[in-house]
Structure 1
Amino acid sequence: MLRTLILGGTTFDHIVTLPELPAPRPQTIHRAPFHEGTGSTGAGKALALTKLGMPATLYSAVGDDAYGRHIVADLRAQGVAAHYVLDPAGTERHINLMDARGQRISLFITQSSPTLAFDHAEVTGLIQNSECLVLNIIGYCQAMIPLLRGYPHPIWTDLHDYDGHNPYHQPFIAAAQYIHLSSDNLPDYRPVMQHLRAAGKRLVVCTHGAAGATLLTAQGQWLEQAAVPAPAVVDSNGAGDNFFAGFLYGFLYQQPLQRCLQYGALCGSGCVGALGLVNPQLSSTWLEEAWQQHFGPGKAG
């Protein structure tokens, strides 16, 4: 049971669900159901790993405001071990416009500070007490990268909708040996994955939403995994982080890589079918039972 440290990624999100994304013209939309609460990639990964029974610690930024207090209380109530640095700019907030297919437009109505006066001794202690580290591509996390020099355990990063060229992502790519990204901005994703492999990455996983995921190993082996359809698309926010957590859960338990992909697909599907960053039913028992149902002996993978 290796302890995973997750650096960065808590926001307060206002999520508006529409039948389809608005056309680019002035208009009034009279029915726009919404919900709000804790968001972002660090919270999503930490929640999913915690529900899967994996020891995980989140280190992230919140503001001294009602939104930050909500995040702290919410994650504490769900059992997430977390440490926070106060952001003088306040808690980062997003408005996410969603359509019935789970497509999203994210509006960053406030943003976290690009640099923060974090406690180096505290973060160094958290790093030293972990056996796996997830470095999220949050601006203030860049200043923590020098603290990772000589870290003897796996470092993962999630590049999200990386386009293959954006220099912003390079420090995170350089620091990590294990890479997740999506093909949202990569219509030709395989050359980018091959480039990352050639740069010495041990594993590259590219997700394609409802089209599944592709994995490339350091040895040049390609694996494909279809998505697991959700019974209904309720809220796709957090699906990528749940995929990441499911994959990492399998990886840390030394499961075959195809099974890791299957765990990821199941966690992502479970997230899409429920409101919030994770499915309330998510647990290691739920995941293993779902795996038996979808991929067990006699099932098509």
Structure 2
Amino acid sequence: MTMPITVIGGASVDTIIQLDEFPSPAPQTIWPRAGYRSLGSTGAGKTVNLAALDIPVTLHTLLGRDAEGQFIRDALKHPNITLLVEETEAGTEQHVNLMNTDGDRISLFVTPPAMPDKIDWCDVEIALSQCHLAVVNILAYARPALEMARAAGKPIWTDLHDYDGRNPYHQPFIDAANVIFLSSDKLPDYRAFMTQQIERGKALVVCTHGRHGATLLDSSGHWLEQPVYPIEHIEDTNGAGDAFFSGFLYGYINQQPLQTCMQLGAACGALCVEDRTLVAPGLDRKRLHAMLATIPQPAATKINL
């Protein structure tokens, strides 16, 4: 049986508004192409994809005592998910995401993440003692979990998202992590950052580039480049990065070569963007491997610099 993964933070209710193009900064009335509510945020996105791939996941998150909190609880009901909730007086996190036809996003945090004065970490400490590794997301409340995971002797994976290479907020997560994922959206010189982190002792650094694929650097100094998989239609790009992370992690804990892990991540991300939910409907191990078998390319390419 696959050992469980512990994921710390976050879950939200997202209102997705699809537009032909982002609005100009002027008063106006806009008729969107579509609008709908969805489970959101990075902890939930990773959790539902890992669960679909038959990996037991314990997710700790913050929820308010409101209808949105119940919406998230209902969306996370799955036999492979154990949900640990710290209820807060603040409302459940909510976003409004404006999406254009290229899949670009403007996120409005209409109810920001809660930051309670006190959190009961007892159940998290138990989960960490029993898991394979910890995924600690970059929410402020999650910082104490970094030390708890280290004390439990568990590898820490973190996702810096659109880190710009300078923001001090991310530094505790960078310092604690064994494996780092991030996006190159705000980091043009991402290779320098990846090299720096490997020199500081990280096992892996993976940088995603949206429609331009992903890049990996391992502790031996080997680089891999992974193109995206071809898809017929982009429905919603929300959660694509978390799906990539999950597909990669699924391959990694099953001891697949890093090239295969990159392919699994790319396939999982491609399936995600074809639907409006954070996880592709019908995603499972068989479907993911079938995608690799029926579309043998693109494969990750090793490059030597």
Length-normalised TM-score, structure 1: 0.96
Q: Given residue 173 of structure 1, which amino acid in structure 2 is its aligned partner? A: I
Percent identity of the aligned residues?
45
Distance in 2 (alpha carbons) for counterparts of 1:201 and 1:290: 30
Where does structure 1 lack aligned partners over 5 or more consecutive residues?
Answer: none
TM-fit CA distance, 1:294: 1.4
TM-fit CA distance, 1:107: 0.5
The number of residues matched between the two structures is: 298
Distance in 2 (alpha carbons) for counterparts of 1:70 and 1:48: 18
Q: Given residue 163 of structure 2, which amino acid in structure 1 is its aligned partner? A: Y
- Deviation larger for 26-35 or 123-132: 26-35
TM-fit CA distance, 1:300: 5.3
Distance in 2 (alpha carbons) for counterparts of 1:4 and 1:83: 13
Distance in 2 (alpha carbons) for counterparts of 1:270 and 1:24: 34
- Deviation larger for 116-125 or 85-94: 116-125
In 2 relative to 1, CA 77–221 (structure 1 residues): closer, same or farther, beyond 3 Å? closer
Over aligned residue pairs, what C-alpha RMSD do you find?
A: 1.3
- Aligned to 1:264, what secondary structure does the other structure show? helix
Q: Given residue 35 of structure 1, which amino acid in structure 2 is its aligned partner? A: Y
The 5 A counterparts of 1:120-135 are 120-135=121-136
In 2 relative to 1, CA 134–95 (structure 1 residues): closer, same or farther, beyond 3 Å? same
Where does structure 2 lack aligned partners over 5 or more consecutive residues?
Answer: 300-305
Following TM superposition, the consecutive aligned residue runs of length 4 or more in structure 1 with deviations greater than 4 angstroms are: none
How big is each residue's C-alpha offset from its partner over 1:21-59, in whole Å with a ceiling of 9 and x where there is no partner? Answer: 222333221335201021100000000000011111111
In 2 relative to 1, CA 254–79 (structure 1 residues): closer, same or farther, beyond 3 Å? closer
Does residue 1:166 correspond to 2:167, yes or no?
yes
**1:195 paired residue number:** 196
How big is each residue's C-alpha offset from its partner over 1:268-289, in whole Å with a ceiling of 9 and x where there is no partner? Answer: 0000001111111210010010
In 2 relative to 1, CA 31–37 (structure 1 residues): closer, same or farther, beyond 3 Å? closer
How big is each residue's C-alpha offset from its partner over 1:106-143, in whole Å with a ceiling of 9 and x where there is no partner? Answer: 00011122345221222211111211110000111013
- Aligned to 1:289, what secondary structure does the other structure show? helix
Length-normalised TM-score, structure 2: 0.94
**1:283 paired residue number:** 284
- Aligned to 1:118, what secondary structure does the other structure show? coil
Does residue 1:66 correspond to 2:35, yes or no?
no
**1:247 paired residue number:** 248
Distance in 1 (alpha carbons) for counterparts of 2:150 and 2:269: 32
TM-fit CA distance, 1:250: 0.4
Q: Is contact 1:115-1:143 (8 Å) kept? A: no
How big is each residue's C-alpha offset from its partner over 1:50-72, in whole Å with a ceiling of 9 and x where there is no partner? Answer: 00111111111111000001100
- Aligned to 1:76, what secondary structure does the other structure show? coil
**2:99 paired residue number:** 98
